[in-house]
Amino acid sequence: MATLAHNVPYIPESVDVLRDYILTDVRLAARADGAAEPATQPGTDLYRGAESTAQAQWLLFHNISLRGQNTTPLESEGAELEEWREALGLPVVQPSPASGQIQIRVVTGTVTIADGTQLVLPNGLRIKASGTHAGIADLSLVNVVAIDTGTRTNAAGGTVVRFVNPPLNVQQEARVATGSPLTGGYDTESDARKRDRILNRLRNLPAGGNWGYLRELALNASPAVQ
């Protein structure tokens, strides 16, 4: 028999333990009624009945065990962690776009790349120039951010991208910069990151622009912020 801790529900170790408890109760009940010792060995009807009952009860105990593991954000996962987010009033973090730099090819002289000039990744997703870049020469770097969101907007250095409408005197093809590839695109928030947001709210109560408040603003803004 397992030792029961205070305020901790008892969870049997296995189906076999539950089955043996049931068979013990059957034998004790027979003795209390003055009846003969019932046959409870493997293969008997009582044994089979206790086995099937124990298997059904084991599912209930197992669910209790799983629920007990989600009593705090430290152990919670999936739906239970989402309940913690909702209870604390934290917003859903939306998918984020990747950002980085591209290296462009200029035919002659220098050019200006206007803010918002669009390019297309090999998978068809779109990026755009971030800010206006004046006096850009051949092989210069231009800051870009994805228009679309998610991990598919990430791209390794050297990836070929194409201008939708290349500016005058600029080649249509450009390449993602090796030293500053497109990163930071996330689809959905992971449980680990959501747990960080929840624990930040509980440990660093946001108020009046304090550290907890600023950290929460950053974490709520984008899953790219770690």
Closest CA to 103 of 155, 180, 165: 180
Cβ-proximal residues to 170 (8 Å cutoff; 6+ apart), any chain? 104, 105, 106, 107, 111, 113, 163
pLDDT at position 138: 96
Distance of CA 64 to the CA centre of its chain: 24
pLDDT at position 2: 45
Residue 91's φ and ψ, nearest 5 degrees, are: -75, 160
pLDDT at position 69: 53
3-state SS, residue 118 = strand
pLDDT at position 128: 98
pLDDT at position 188: 85
pLDDT at position 182: 97
Chunked in runs of 10, what are the mean pLDDT values of the chain (226 residues)?
Answer: 51 82 89 87 90 84 62 79 90 93 96 97 97 96 96 97 96 97 92 90 84 84 77
The enclosing H or E element of 57 equals helix 45-68
